[in-house]
């Protein structure tokens, strides 16, 4: 047999597989209807386990893993097809549909907004990209921003969530577990750091550099070029600039935005000192209630998965069946729970899709996942 003959035989086999697959899915759909009529759940993990054990025994050692993956995928496709014909009674879809219908066509030009830090912080720059003119209230830490939104002190809160150079903002992810909120928009802000000195100081005088932890991480190369310099962390890059401005010293500097130079009367000794020019920080805009504006094309959810082999794979397969593109998957250890993790997902999709609403409704109804928002992301 040559390669052409082998391919022809494979084509014939593929045709048989497709025909059998269509028959299997049709039967699965009928079973789904009978399950719904009888009030039975779509999931039957015990039967799946029995079939997988049988397949493993009969497939031979060489094909065991491949056969198990193949049939696990078939199970997920079949269950997804059954769910697509099932009516899920949950307040979740109605709440989201209400947000879709009642959210205004345009994102607000102005609002009362909570930010972490002081004037000149990158959170303020992100706010200025999201709103034409925001009434900003500054807070000392990220937790206070969450609380300001929860308590209704501010309609929105702006929080950094990840940086393209330094990675995720761990503190914000941890705080997400403790607060109730929705993401209504996000902004990818290009971060350009500068070394700011007190008037009259020179780089050669500097013995100490102050900045936010992320700012220091993003400028490691430049800091090394300064030699034996002490680094000190501040609550934000803008706070670092404020500290340097009020210190009265000539031997300290701040890593912050160039905007901070004008605000705090400092001089720019060097600009664009970040390690990478493609240095972006992603900020989220949160609110107390869901708001879904036209053009929302990103969805975020957060939740836990059972400690079972393949549980993450099975969830991802359900999204894959709907053609959803996953853009971020983050796992965070749950506090006070040994080896328990919270998963954070970003994916490109819209809640306008009934099939996706059905899937998210099931995840939320099970109590394992929280819907965080459907929103648009801008790049500034």
**Nearest alpha carbon to residue 116 among 236, 30, 273:** 236
**Nearest alpha carbon to residue 232 among 249, 252, 250:** 252
d(CA 203, CA 200): 10
Residue 283 is a catalytic residue: yes
Record the tokens describing residue 336, joined without a space: 């006070």
How distant is the alpha carbon of residue 13 from its chain centre? 42
Contact predicate 288/99, CB 8 Å: no
Contact predicate 359/322, CB 8 Å: yes
The interaxial angle of helices 354-365 and 91-102, nearest 10 deg, is 130
Q: What share of the chain is helix, strand, coil (3-state, %, to 5)?
A: 45, 25, 30
Record the tokens describing residue 217, joined without a space: 């991480």
Residue 281 is a catalytic residue: yes
Contact predicate 187/232, CB 8 Å: no
Burial tier of 57 (Cβ tally within 10 Å: 0-12, 13-18, 19+): exposed
Contacts of 319 (CB under 8 A, 6+ apart): 326, 347, 359
d(CA 34, CA 18): 25
Tell me which of 127, 237, 281, 370 is the catalytic residue.
281
Q: What is the DSSP string of 237-248?
A: HHHHHHHHHHH-
Q: Return the H-helix or E-strand segment holding 378.
A: strand 369-379
DSSP type of residue 144: H
Tell me which of 75, 107, 131, 283 is the catalytic residue.
283
Active site residues: 281, 283
């Amino acid at each position: 047999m040559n390669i052409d003959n082998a391919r022809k035989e494979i084509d014939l086999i593929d045709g048989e597989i497709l025909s059998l697959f269509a028959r299997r899915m049709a039967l699965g759909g009928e079973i789904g209807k009978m399950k719904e009529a009888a009030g039975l759940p779509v999931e039957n993990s015990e039967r799946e386990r029995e079939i997988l054990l049988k397949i493993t025994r009969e497939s031979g050692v060489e094909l065991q893993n491949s056969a198990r993956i193949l049939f696990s995928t078939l199970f997920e496709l079949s269950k997804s097809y059954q769910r697509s014909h099932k009516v899920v009674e949950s307040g979740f879809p109605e709440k989201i549909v209400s947000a879709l219908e009642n959210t205004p066509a345009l994102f607000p030009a102005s609002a009362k907004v909570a930010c972490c830090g002081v004037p000149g912080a990158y959170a303020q720059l992100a706010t200025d990209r999201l709103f034409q003119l925001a009434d900003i209230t500054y807070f000392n830490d990220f937790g206070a921003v969450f609380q300001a939104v929860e308590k209704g002190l501010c309609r929105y809160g702006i929080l950094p969530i990840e940086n393209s150079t330094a990675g995720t903002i761990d503190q914000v992810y941890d705080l997400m577990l403790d607060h109730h909120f929705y993401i209504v928009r996000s902004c990818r802000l290009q971060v350009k750091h500068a070394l700011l000195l007190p008037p009259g100081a020179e780089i050669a005088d500097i013995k100490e550099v102050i900045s936010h932890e992320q700012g220091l991480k993003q400028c490691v190369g430049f800091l090394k070029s300064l030699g034996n310099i002490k680094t000190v962390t501040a609550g934000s890059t803008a706070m670092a600039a404020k500290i340097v401005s009020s210190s009265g010293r000539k031997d300290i500097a701040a890593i912050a935005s160039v905007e901070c130079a004008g605000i705090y009367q400092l001089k720019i000794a060097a600009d664009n000192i970040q390690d990478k020019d493609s240095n972006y920080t992603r900020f989220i805009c949160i609110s107390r209630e869901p708001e879904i504006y036209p053009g929302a094309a990103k969805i975020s959810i957060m939740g836990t998965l059972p400690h079972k082999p393949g549980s993450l794979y099975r969830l991802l397969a359900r999204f894959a069946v709907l053609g959803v593109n996953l853009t971020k998957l983050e796992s965070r250890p749950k506090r006070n729970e040994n080896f328990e993790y919270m998963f954070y997902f970003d994916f490109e999709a819209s809640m306008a899709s009934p099939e996706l609403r059905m899937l998210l409704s099931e995840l939320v109804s099970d109590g394992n996942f929280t819907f965080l928002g459907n929103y648009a992301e801008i790049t500034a």
